[in-house]
Amino acid sequence: MHSDAFDRYHHHDSALHRLDPRIKVVVVIAFILSNALLPDGAWTAFGLAWLFLFLANALSDLGLGYTFKRSFIALPFALVAVTVLFSIPGKPLSQFHFMMWEFTVTDAGLLRFVSIVIRSWLSVQAAILLVAVTRFPDLIHAFEHLRVPAILTTIIAFLYRYLFVLMDEVMRLLRARQSRSAAATGQRSGGGVLWRARVSGHMAGQLFLRSYERSDRIYNAMLARGYVGQLLTLNPHELHGRDWAYAAVAFLFILAMQFVGRF
């Protein structure tokens, strides 16, 4: 497997790509928080938030609809919030029967549901854009600057580095299982559910042992190359005037969004 199979970074040289990763992380988190703080049904503010994303997309050179295309991942979770449609007291909008229950959609419930979905949709797009314009090691480095403990960032860096290697391992295991699970046409392959679960468990155990032994080799190789307990980077990550300017504009925009949403 190629190392970019999981990578969400899009190589490019745009204003957003060049921006300091710390600024990007802080702005994205501020944007998500701002969405959470907007009251239900603040349509103008939601519109401004879309505009914010639109401008960011334009600055990123990835195409204006880039984040929109990939933003549907969080929508299945909206099912959880569906119940607010019926549960918040308000003016009844429509009624329908489903099996033995009668559901009444209220205006307040509808307003809340739509607001939750819009907020989460906006936030997920900001996160998608963040990883598309920032290299993952830079992202981790930014979190280190933002005082996330070094042991956590190092574990995450290792996870990112070896995920591809272990995915290859998983692929081999899955391929081996498949090639041993032949079945005549019309017949089911493999045993019962318990048997299948046991096979999967053995595969997980096998993967554990291979990973464990690999980590030993990795550590020895790292020692041989002069590992002193922390990962170093060649990217200096200095904040320039341009970074501060972008941050100031972004925060003014977010403040304006809050102002419009609340007054």
Partner 1 sequence: MLYSPVPMHIPDNFLSIAVSLICWVITIITLGIAISRTNKSLGERQVPLMGVMAAFIFAAQMINFPVLGGTSGHLLGGVLAAITLGPWAGMLVMTAVIAVQGLLFQDGGLVVMGANILNMGILTCAVGYGLYRSVLGSNRALKLTVIGVAAWLSVMAGALSTALQIWLSGNAEVQIVVPAMLFVHAFIGLGEALITVAAVLFIMRTRPDLIGERSESAQGGKGWILTGVLITLTVVLLSPFASANPDGLNRVATDLGFIQTAKSASGPLAGYTVPFLASVSASKIVAGAIGVIVVLAIVFITGRSLQSKRGLDAPAKTNRTTQPNPKS
Closer Cβ to partner 1, 199 or 260, answer by number: 199
Closer Cβ to partner 1, 18 or 198, answer by number: 198
Contact 67, 139 (CB under 8 A): no
| Shortest spacing between CB 165 and partner 1, in angstroms | 7
Closer Cβ to partner 1, 82 or 245, answer by number: 82
Closer Cβ to partner 1, 63 or 201, answer by number: 201
| Shortest spacing between CB 27 and partner 1, in angstroms | 12
| Shortest spacing between CB 164 and partner 1, in angstroms | 9
Closer Cβ to partner 1, 33 or 245, answer by number: 33
| Shortest spacing between CB 241 and partner 1, in angstroms | 27
| Shortest spacing between CB 3 and partner 1, in angstroms | 13
